[in-house]
Amino acid sequence: MSLGVVLLCALLYVGILFATAWRVDALAKQGKSRLMRNPYVYSLSLAVYCTAWTYYGSVGRASASGLSFLAIYLGPAIIAPLWYFLLRKMIVISKNQRINSIADFISARYGKSGHLATLVTIIALFGVIPYISIQLKAVSFSIDVLTEHQYPYFKPDAPLLADATFWVMLAMAVFTMLFGARKLDPNERHEGLIAAVAFESLVKLIAFWVVGLFVIYGLYNGLGDLFTQAAANPETARLFSLSGAGVSPTSWTMYMLLSALAIMLLPRQFHVAVVENTHPRQVNTAMWLFPLYLLLINFLVLPIALAGKMILGSSAPSDTYVLTLPIHEHLHILSLIVFIGGFSAATSMVIVSSTAISIMVSNHLVLPMLIRLKLIGQETTPRGASTLLDVRRVSILGVLMLALLFLKSIGGSYDLVSVGLISFTAVAQFAPSALFGMYWRRGTRKGAIAGLWIGFLIWAYCLPAAAIAEAGFLSQSFITDGPWGISSLRPYHLFGMEGMDNISHAAFWSLLLNTGAFLIVSLYTQPSALELTQANIFVNIHRYVAGEEYDVVKRAAKISDLHRVMGRFLDPSHVSAIFSNFEKENKIKLDQQKNAEPELINYAETQLAGIIGASSARLAIGSVAKEENITLEEVMQVLEQTREVLRYSKALEQKSSELETTTRQLIAANEQLKALDRLKADFITTVTHELRTPVTSIKALSKILLDYRAELPEEKLQSYLNILVSESERISRLINQVLDIEKIESGTDEYLPTEPFSLDEIVRTTAGGMAQLFRERSIEFTSNIPEETLEVAGNRDRIVQVVVNLLSNALKFCDAREGRVSLSLQKAGSEAVLRVADNGKGIPPEQHVHIFDKFTQLNSKTEGKPQGTGLGLYITRKIVEHHGGSIKVMSAVGAGATFEVRLPIYPSNT
Amino acid sequence: MNFKPKVLLVDDEPNILTAIEFLLEREGFVISKAYNGLEALEIADATIPDLIVLDVMMPGMDGFEVARHLRQNSKLDDTKIIFLTAKGAEQDRKNGYANGGEYYLIKPFDNDFFVSTIHEIMAYG
């Protein structure tokens, strides 16, 4: 076939891609395209996972080692159900944080660390450039095969401009620059590009099936025939079993793990799955559709491999069986279709990869440098936005150039599958920091950096470095004996590890030590405040995002950081003016050490944007607040909305917190009043009852006297009159005591004058006065009062009342027949201690506290109530307490009771 | 009147008991007295009075509780209970009837009214 025909076909196909992308972009611009919201388009775009490696390489792999090629498709298929949690969470986080690459994702999680973003970008570059290069190789190789090696343009040693691969690369670069870096979109969405990629996924699937069906039904009589013949051939029969194909379970597991991680962490996969995603709901469809796609595209790999092996054997490289089978049968149209399928697999991968990588390179490598070098964001430099796009475009070209150079230097000696797996192993290094970061708050920036560096270095040592040695750039002894002859450092047998293939070996050590370093360093380091905020957002994203709708960006930065960044672009007086203006507008005082409200960040950015352009301002503020991708319109919108809402809600908050305090105080006061009211009501009820009782007796008996005086015997008359007198006394006593309590409780009692008076004298006098009463009832009364003067300050009459109350109680409760009462006064330190003891029935311990309450009286079983109001001891206690003293009772049932009053001696012992 | 009705008076105030005792003895009732609830239950069980005059606010067991216990004693099915108390609230009155009292009198009382009420209750139940 002539080169012209092949190139024409390729150009035609690219033309279709252009048209598709252009049309979709145009529709999207008018807001008419619903394609992006279609979950099937989303699922097909994920199939960018299937590259030329799948298209050509799987058959190559299958013809060498049977089903082993399946491992890297089983991994993604197995992890797909977990996307419901994993990928959706990733998407919600990324939309909330305006994340536009895997580097951005990891850096955002760990406090928007620039170091991490750069590190991830570099690892991605190392991992992905060889991967892109083999796609270029696949395209040029397929043209070479198709044209039956007639042209010298496909030799690796051809000069750059004479190499067809260069022109292929250039065409892809143009397409990517046009559709991957056409505009600066805050969401980094490229509708046209994704539509083209989804279209390509269909093309490669259909092309592969066309050739597969041709092999099965054109070359054989169906699958059964093919397999029967293959089983009969010892060369192909061994491919049916895993062990026969020489695949160990370790490799199988490792490949599945690597591919399960790569499906989310490869820059291009992250780009299509997360960045280009328009709604997390789309994941639900992709969860079953994408594994189905993988099944379909792999279904016919083995038949083609078997047929190739049987028909072509080693006359053609096994990687080209898909193409060489139709060529061998001289079917030109079919071979062109196959070529287009492979071409589409390669181009989609190259386009998406270079778009994704260029975003990372421009945002995390080039722009930080430009901003630091003041090559951007100055009044003399061109507007930021166009510079940014230029950087993107140059990055795309640069990445593809690097891939081509790689291919031309050492890449030629590698097969498709190995390079793909090396790439997978590189991006798998993102797994600990990215995945743990979504669920483990404790992970720190230092931990992520340590893990990534260790994983990256081990990867680089075990795979690319070893590959360089194998390619002859280093001594072979590096591989066989280890550097400086240290055998435990052999790149394929690190620490003496045997029994693993090179990829599994490198993946095992790099991931193990990466994870270990991440966990250990995280546990031993402290996250910064920004890291904590970000960790919290990542881990608990569903608390921050209502439902799954994308939220307005929240940004955080220290005010001092904002100051510093703005100072890079403006003179200090201008910066101060901006901040003081903000303070004035919002009537607040800014603290340099505090975190700035999103409102302030937006304000600062808008102010800056007015002078140096929106993109530069975004980048500049982004260097501290890490939110580059937000348009000026969005900033304005957010600013307008949040400022109003914030101000309003702040005012509300203040008001409602004031109200809350007042309400709380009111409730407390009300409770107190209610309690007082209850006490008062209880008191009144009790007093009324206590008054009614004597009144009842008096009323009934006086009426009896009035009506039946004539028929009453003398002794009854006498007894009734006595009752009348004592009950009347009871009433007047009660009334006096109620008045006393009222005075004492309301605080109107006169405790002043506080001149000291001598307590011993009061006790002596009162005891003397009461002695007559004791004698009358033949109660033995003894008193022991010291000679020394014990002075007490307070209300003399009340103290007299205390002594009288205690002695009356003793008189009332002492033993009825052989009553004994004793009184003693003594000094104990700074207190005067008065004790009155009787020999009555005593008081059970559980009553010792209650007897000093209102209306508590001890009741006897047989004699009814003792004569008393139940207020005496209460009043006594109150008086003593008002004088700064205390009262207690010591008693046991049947052993009498001793009341002890302690009063402070004046002057109180200083 | 061939037989003398038996009345049990229960109150923790001896002076009130003195007054009622006089009034009812004069009317020909046979009087027994108790100063608290437990005593009242013992005496009632032993003597099976026709009528019990019961105070409510008493130390230990209150009058309502005494009435409930009395009502559980089947020997006292024909015994009538009158509450005589200083607790005059509507709720107390309801409690009295709920606990098996036939009548609820408030202290202080009128002697003549008291006596005629007792007679009425003894006659008509």
CATH number of the CATH domain containing B34: 3.40.50.2300
Distance of CA A251 to the CA centre of its chain: 36
Residue pairs between chains A and B whose CB atoms are closer than 8 Å? 76
The 8-class DSSP code of residue A711 comes to G
- Which CATH architecture group holds A750-904? 2-Layer Sandwich (3.30)
* pLDDT over 50 (residue A861): no
Query: What mean pLDDT comes out for the span B48-74?
Result: 89
Distance, in Å, from the CA atom of A198 to the CA atom of A178, rounded to the nearest integer, reads 17
Residue B112 in domain: yes
Query: Per-residue pLDDT averaged across A20-31, rounded?
Result: 79
| pLDDT confidence bin for A456, thresholds 50/70/90 | very high
**A763 or A602, higher pLDDT:** A763
d(C-alpha B52, C-alpha B39), whole Å = 13
Q: Do B86 and A689 touch (CB under 8 A)?
A: yes
Q: Write the residue in A692, A704, A861 that is nearest to B86 by C-beta.
A: A692
CB distance from B13 to chain A under 8 Å?
A: yes
Angle, to 10 degrees, between the axis of helix A114-146 and the axis of helix A321-328? 10
**A860 pLDDT tier (thresholds 50, 70, 90):** very low
Mutate to test the interface with B, among A685, A687, A697 (most CBs of B within 10 A): A697
Determine, yes or no, domain membership for B1.
no
Whether residue A566 is predicted with pLDDT greater than 80 in this model: the reply is no
Residue tagged 């009162």 (tokens)? A766
Between CA B45 and CA B49 the distance in angstroms is 8
- B-chain residues near A862 (CB < 8 A): 35, 39
Distance between CA atoms of A174 and A680, rounded to whole angstroms?
A: 93
Write down the residue that tokens 């008991």 correspond to: B17
- Specify the pLDDT at position A545: 59
Domain boundaries, position B79 = 6-124
Mean pLDDT, rounded, for A704-728: 89
Measured between beta carbons, the chain B residues lying within 8 angstroms of A688 are 86
Q: Is it the case that residue A31 has pLDDT exceeding 60? A: yes
Distance of alpha carbon A729 from alpha carbon A738, whole angstroms: 14
Shortest Cα distance from B45 to chain A (angstroms)?
Answer: 18
Q: Identify the closest residue of chain A to B87 by CA–CA distance.
A: A689
Return the sign of the alpha-carbon dihedral for residues A147, A149, A152, A158: positive
Residue A179 has pLDDT above 80, yes or no: no
Mutate to test the interface with B, among A696, A698, A720, A721 (most CBs of B within 10 A): A696
Question: Is B125 an 8 Å CB contact of chain A?
Answer: no
Angle at CA of residue A876, ends A870 and A880, nearest 5°:
155
B108 vs A862: CB contact, 8 Å cut-off? no
Our CA-based measurement puts residue A664 at a distance from the nearest CA of chain B, in whole angstroms, of: 34
Q: Looking at this protein, which amino acid is placed at residue A496? A: G
Would you state the pLDDT for residue A460? Answer: 87
Query: A811 to chain B, minimum CA–CA distance in Å?
Result: 20
C-alpha pair distances (Å), A876 with each of A680, A851, A854, A870? 20, 11, 11, 11
Res A216 pLDDT > 80:
yes
Sorted by sequence, the CB contacts under 8 Å of residue A522 that are 6+ apart come out as: A440, A442, A443, A444, A446, A447, A448
What's the pLDDT score for residue A368? 74
Per-domain residue ranges of chain A: 3-135+173-435, 444-526, 552-630, 654-728+736-744, 750-904
In three-state form (DSSP H/G/I as H, E/B as E, the rest C), the secondary structure along chain B is: CCCCCEEEEECCCHHHHHHHHHHHHHCCCEEEEECCHHHHHHHHHHHCCCEEEECCCCCCCCHHHHHHHHHHCHHHCCCEEEEEECCCCHHHHHHHHHCCCCEEEECCCCHHHHHHHHHHHHHHC
* Fold held by A3-135+173-435: Sodium/glucose cotransporter (1.20.1730)
What is residue A422's predicted lDDT score, i.e. its pLDDT?
86
Distance CA A834, CA B23 (A): 48
A301-349 pLDDT tens trace: 888 888 888 888 777 777 788 888 888 888 888 888 888 888 888 888 8
How many domains does chain B fold into?
Answer: 1
- Per CB-CB distance under 8 Å, the chain A contacts of B18 are 697, 701, 719-720, 723
For chain B, how many residues are written?
125
pLDDT of residue B43: 93
Mean pLDDT is lowest, of A129-138, A426-435, A489-498, A742-751, for A742-751
Residue B87 near chain A (CB below 8 Å): yes
A454 pLDDT higher than 60: yes
Lowest mean pLDDT among A269-278, A505-514, A615-624, B107-116: A615-624
Whether the per-residue pLDDT at A551 is higher than 50: the answer is no
B36 in contact with chain A, both atoms CB, cutoff 8 A? yes
**Which pLDDT band holds residue A452 (cuts at 50, 70, 90)?**
very high
Among the ranges given (A455-469, A567-581, A716-730, B18-32), the one the predictor scored with the smallest mean pLDDT: A567-581
Which of B19, B59, B86 is facing A700, going by the closest CB pair?
B19
> Who among A699, A861, A865 is closest to B13 (CB)?
A865
pLDDT class of A379 with cuts at 50, 70, 90: very low
B22 interaction partners in chain A (CB closer than 8 Å): 704, 708, 716
Contact between B15 and A859 using a beta-carbon 8 Å cutoff: no
**How far apart, in whole angstroms, are the C-alpha atoms of residue A253 and residue A238?**
21
pLDDT surpasses 60 at A689: yes
Q: What is the mean pLDDT of residues A511-540?
A: 84
Nearest to B13 among A688, A720, A864 (CB): A864
Please report, in angstroms and rounded to a whole number, the separation of the first and last CA atoms in chain A: 119
Q: Which of B13, B18, B36 sits opposite A693 (nearest CB)?
A: B13
**Interface membership of B16 toward A (CB under 8 Å):** yes
Place of tokens 């206690």: A877
Q: Which of A689, A703, A859 comes nearest B60 by C-beta? A: A859
Higher pLDDT, A539 or A260: A260
Dist CA B28 CA A416 (whole Å) = 127
Is the pLDDT at A381 greater than 60? The verdict is: no
- Top mean pLDDT of A636-650, A664-678, B24-38 is at B24-38
DSSP A631: -
Q: Which residue has the higher pLDDT, A439 or B1?
A: A439
If you search the block for the tokens 């052993």, which residue do you land on? A895
Note the pLDDT of residue B7.
94
Name, of A461-470, A581-590, A649-658, A808-817, the range with top average pLDDT: A808-817
In a domain, residue B76? The reply is: yes
Q: Say whether pLDDT at A627 is over 50.
A: no
Contact A376, A616 (CB under 8 A): yes
- CA dist B41 and B63 (Å) reads 11
Query: Which chain B positions have a beta carbon within 8 Å of A693's beta carbon?
Result: 13, 16, 86, 107
B26 contact A CB<8A: yes
Compute φ and ψ for A214, nearest 5 degrees: -60, -45
Give the chain B residue whose CA is nearest to the CA of A861: B36
Q: Which amino acid is present at A324?
A: T
Cβ distance of B86 and A720 shorter than 8 Å: no
pLDDT surpasses 80 at B19: yes
Q: Which residues of B touch A692 (CB under 8 A)?
A: 86, 107-108
Chain A residue set in contact with B, beta carbons under 8 Å: 688-689, 692-697, 699-701, 703-704, 707-708, 716, 719-720, 723, 726-727, 857, 859, 861-865
Mean pLDDT of chain B: 88
Asked whether the predicted pLDDT for residue A385 surpasses 60, the reply is: no
B86 to chain A: nearest residue by CA? A689
Nearest CA in chain B to A706: B111
Q: In this structure, are residues A485 and A560 in contact, taking their beta carbons and an 8 Å threshold?
A: no
Q: Is residue B18 part of a domain?
A: yes
- Average model confidence (pLDDT) across chain A: 79
Low-confidence winner among A16-20, A248-252, A502-506, B52-56 (lowest mean pLDDT)? A248-252
Q: Residue A569: which pLDDT band, with cuts at 50, 70 and 90?
A: low
For residue B108, give the nearest of A695, A716, A864 by CB distance: A695
pLDDT beyond 60 at A752? no
Q: Which residues are CB-neighbours of A756 under 8 A, at least 6 positions away?
A: A791, A792, A793, A906, A907
Out of A76-85, A272-281, A680-689, pick the least confident.
A680-689
Please state whether the peptide bond connecting residue A845 to the residue before it is cis, i.e. omega within 30 degrees of 0.
Answer: no
The Cα of B67 is separated from the nearest Cα of chain A by a number of Å equal to 18
Q: Is A53 helix (H, G, I), strand (E, B) or coil?
A: helix
Put simply, the answer to whether A859 touches B107 (Cβ < 8 Å) is: no
Burial category of A544 from C-beta neighbours within 10 Å (exposed 0-12, middle 13-18, buried 19 and up): middle
Q: Output the CA–CA distances (angstroms, integers) from residue B43 to A119, B31, B35, in the order listed.
A: 100, 11, 11
Of chain A, the percentage scoring pLDDT greater than 70 comes to 82
pLDDT band of residue A773 (cuts 50, 70, 90) is confident
Place A218 in a pLDDT band, splitting at 50, 70 and 90. confident
Spatial distance between the Cα atoms of B9 and A700, rounded to a whole number of angstroms: 15
User: For the domain A654-728+736-744, what is the CATH code?
Assistant: 1.10.287.130
SS3 sequence, A833-889? Answer: EEEEEECCCCCCHHHCCHHHCCCCCCCECCCECCCCCCCHHHHHHHHHHHCCCEEEE
Any alpha helices (H) in A501-587, and if so which ranges?
502-524, 529-539, 541-544, 559-569, 572-586
Q: Which of A60-74, A251-265, A641-655, A801-815 has the lowest mean pLDDT?
A: A641-655
Which residues of A are less than 8 Å from B87 in CB distance? 689
B109: in domain: yes
Rounded mean pLDDT of A724-732?
88
- Chain B contacts of A713, Cβ < 8 Å? none
